Amino acid sequence: MTHADRVLADEQIVGAVYEALARRYPKSRSRGRLGAPAEVVLRLLILKHVRNWSYQVLEREVRANLVYRDFSRVGGGKTPDAKTMGRWGLAVDPETIKQIHDRIVQVAQEQGVTQGRRMRVDTTVVETNIHYPTDSTLLGDGVRVLIRTMKKVTKIVGTAGTKLRDRTRSVKLRLLDVSRTARAKGPLNHEKLKQGYRRLLNSTSRVVGQAKRFSYEISAGVKRARGILKRLVRIPMISPGCTDLISPGIPR
């Protein structure tokens, strides 16, 4: 925070935030009650972003922490509420953020930290839900990727060689059957689950075998683009690691 404190004291960075706050209303500069200093607004928003907090958490942490109070220049004054800080976040528009970024790059150039031609930064990561990686769903994902790749190959080379058979629907039905059976308990359902997995593995093995034949025919030149222009397009190769569910060898 010591390094950030020195950079955020730059007049151009603070000035960009001041101009953004002054543009909120037509006469914000001359009318109305006094607002929070631009320096306080800047540092509070930076603190929120760096710590990945919500405005409610930001308000609570700054109110209770003397270090954050000193960094944000709130000091012994009243901590702004979350609703007010949310309005500040809307007022600092993308154009202002770009100005701040450009000035930070310029400061880094002046101090010899970077040459300014390229700069790698951490991007914001948004949490999202993914399905739990069960054996059945992993098999389904593998089938989906292999069939998608074989469709791309067929689009480029046409019907030469092995004909594509899309088993996406049958594999999807097997996945639903396994999922429904797995929710139930008891020895009878356990046996049904084994049968469901056998059918799923059978369908998956057929897709893998087809993918191996596609891969072999691409390397042997059986599957080739029909036109000269299409030959310039890179034909997707099927990775051997995706087809290790059955024993390797020349495709049947």
Same domain? 96 vs 143: no
Q: Look at residue 237 and give its three-state secondary structure.
A: coil
212 belongs to a structural domain:
yes
Residue 197 domain boundaries: 135-243
Average pLDDT, the chain: 81
Does residue 27 carry a pLDDT above 50? Answer: yes
- Among residues 75, 110, 145, the one where a domain terminates is 110
Number of compact structural domains in the chain: 2
pLDDT tens column, 44-67? 999 999 888 999 999 999 999 999
Angstrom distance (rounded) from CA 219 to CA 153: 12
φ, ψ at 30 (rounded to 5°): -120, -15
- CA angle, 6 then 11 then 12, to 5°: 115
Residue with the bigger pLDDT between 39 and 156: it is 39
Q: What is the dihedral of CA 69, 70, 72, 76, to 10 degrees?
A: 50
Q: What is the pLDDT of residues 67-83, one digit of tens each?
A: 999 999 998 889 999 99
Q: Do both 142 and 74 map to the same domain?
A: no
Distance CA 135, CA 225 (A): 36
Reference 102, options 5, 10, 36; nearest CA is 10
pLDDT tens figures, 185-215? 666 677 888 888 999 999 999 999 999 988 8
Give residues with Cβ within 8 angstroms of 187, minimum separation 6.
none
Is 252 contained in some domain? no
Residue 110 CA from chain centroid, whole number? 33
